[in-house]
Each structure stands twice: as structure tokens, then as C-alpha cells.
Amino acid sequence: MTGTSSGYGKATAQLFLDQGWNVVATMRAPDESVFDKPGDRLKVLPLDVTSAESISKALADAVAAFGRIDVLVNNAGIGLLSAFEFTPDTVIREMFETNTFGVMAVCRAAIPHMRQHAGGVIINVTSSTAIAPMPFVAVYTASKCAVEGFTEALSYELGLVGIRARIVEPGLAPTTNFRTNSANRIEGLTPPPYDAFAQRYFAKLQDYPTAFTSVSEVSEAVFAAATEEGDRLRFPAGPDTALFAQLRWMTSEEHYLAQMRAMFGPDLSE
């Protein structure tokens, strides 16, 4: 598992441990103390998903620790809140290096091992914004939509060799560090004419909605994706994700867009 130092990744690694699995938990700065009752079934390793050398070493160390990899969970990612017009190319590329190219690199490194063992599951964690994009997360959304398309296409390829590729789509979880970390990257990226709209939008997010996603809902969705038989591809996690999925796929595009603009669009009457 990648990105296990906090939030969804930490909760997911802990759930698999609690269910009796051997777990290789990776993070940029390894810290075994973040987990409850770590023992012989847990191996914490350093991993930078933007480094091919780091990926190769982590994979080799994981196999050395437990013999084989049955499930790969790509959870590592970074967030960003910004007006796209003012987002520097360097920031955009950094986002894709971690959220998209990092996922691809880890998958490509793990697939030969899983293919040799004639099976396994690859789970890529994306976002509810891939279902229902919102303002000021255009770059983040693009990086996650790319992973969704990649994973679906990959699922058709890997089905030939007995490997499942699946998507877990978390909603917004206020108990994680995602919003804080994203907000720390926003300084100077929502200047006029976007600033007033941005302030209203972020204030509205504080009240939205009555149903957030909990870290346990995400970890349980990942566990289901790892263990469920069949050809299911997407595993929405959280009531807000379910709401957006229903709004997106069970109504007309006109109705969907009207609802999204009512919730998150600018007040054009001002």
C-alpha cells in the first residue's frame, strides 16, 4: 500500500492488519508508530512514487518480507485548491507526477510479479471529483480522472492474465489532512477575479453536506475491492460519493449540471 502515513491509507493498512493480512505499508518517511499494535505481519518501507529506483527497491523488499504480493493499493496522492488560470506549470506537473504517473509506475513495476503468480488485485484510489468535478480542483480532478480511465483500460488488459484492476472513489473526509494540506498550497492561487467566489465556495464546503465520507468507509471499500469476487470495477466510498454518482448517472445531464451549479457555481446575479 502506498501513502499510509495518515488518513485513508493509514486506516486501510490498519484494517487489513486487523483482518489478519500481511501488510507492507509504504510512506515517504517510514514511521511504524502510526499503527496500532504493529507486529511481524507489518512491514513499513520508504517509498517515493515519483522515483523509479524507490519503487523498485520497495517492491523487492516487500517480496523479500512476505514472498509475494496479492493486492496492490495505490493511495498516495497530493491535493491542490487553486484557480486553474493561476496554477503554475510546475505545480500541475508535480500533481500529475504523484497522482497519475506515480500510480502508473507502481502498477507497471508490480504487474510482472503478479502475473508470474497468476493473479492478484490492483486497487487505485481516486476521488468523487472524478464523478462530479468541482471548482478550484481542476488540476487535481484531471489527475484523478486520468487514473480512472487508466484503471478501466488496464482492467481489460490484465483480465487476460488473471489480475483484477479496480477503482475506489472516496468522497470528502473532514477528519483527514487532505483539506488542510490542499489549503496550504492555495496561497496566491485564487487572486481576483476568483477570490470572492473562492471564499464563498470554501465557506459553503464547511456546511456541505450533511453526509461526509469517513476514513472507515474508504478502508472498508478498499477491503471489499481486494476480496470481492466478480468483475465489479468501481467501489464508491461514502454517502456523498453515492449522492454524486446517483446525480450524475441516474438523471439527465441538464438536471445534473443545474444541481451542481446551484450547489457550487458562482452567484452570477451579483
pLDDT digits (tens, 9 = 90+) for 227-256: 999 999 999 998 999 989 999 989 999 999
Range 167-184 average pLDDT: 69
pLDDT at position 186: 54
Give the pairing of strands 71-74 and 163-170: unpaired
Residue corresponding to grid cell 504487474:
111
Hey, what's the cell of 32?
511504524
Inter-axis angle of helices 89-96 and 138-158, nearest 10: 30
Average pLDDT score, the chain? 90
- Residue 8 CA to residue 11 CA, distance in Å, equals 5
pLDDT at position 22: 97
- Of residues 79 and 270, more confidence is placed in 79
**Greatest alpha-carbon span in the chain:** 63
Inter-axis angle of helices 215-227 and 7-18, nearest 10: 50
Hey, what's the cell of 124?
487505485
Whether residue 129 has pLDDT greater than 90: yes
Query: Cβ distance 41 to 23 under 8 Å?
Result: yes
Query: Cβ distance 46 to 54 under 8 Å?
Result: yes
pLDDT at position 209: 54
What is the pLDDT confidence band of residue 160, given thresholds at 50, 70 and 90?
very high
Q: May I ask the CATH architecture of the domain 7-264?
A: 3-Layer(aba) Sandwich (3.40)
Residues of 124-149 as b/e, b for ≥16 C-beta within 10 angstroms? bbbbbbbbbbbbbbbbbbbbbbbbbe
Range 50-59 average pLDDT: 98
What is the pLDDT confidence band of residue 269, given thresholds at 50, 70 and 90?
very low
Range 182-210 average pLDDT: 71
Q: What percent of the chain has pLDDT over 90?
A: 72
Whether residue 157 has pLDDT greater than 50: yes
pLDDT at position 88: 94
- Residue 236 CA to residue 125 CA, distance in Å, equals 10
Whether residue 132 has pLDDT greater than 60: yes
- Residue 250 CA to residue 246 CA, distance in Å, equals 5
Hey, what's the cell of 204?
459553503
Query: Cβ distance 59 to 109 under 8 Å?
Result: yes
Whether residue 47 has pLDDT greater than 50: yes
Query: Cβ distance 83 to 136 under 8 Å?
Result: yes
Active site residues: 140
What is the pLDDT confidence band of residue 263, given thresholds at 50, 70 and 90?
confident
Q: Is 229 left (phi over 0), alpha (psi -120 to 50) or beta?
A: beta
pLDDT at position 207: 62
- Residue 98 CA to residue 139 CA, distance in Å, equals 12
- Residue 230 CA to residue 234 CA, distance in Å, equals 12
Whether residue 270 has pLDDT greater than 50: no
Whether residue 29 has pLDDT greater than 70: yes
Query: Cβ distance 5 to 34 under 8 Å?
Result: yes
- Residue 183 CA to residue 196 CA, distance in Å, equals 16
pLDDT at position 185: 52
Range 170-194 average pLDDT: 67
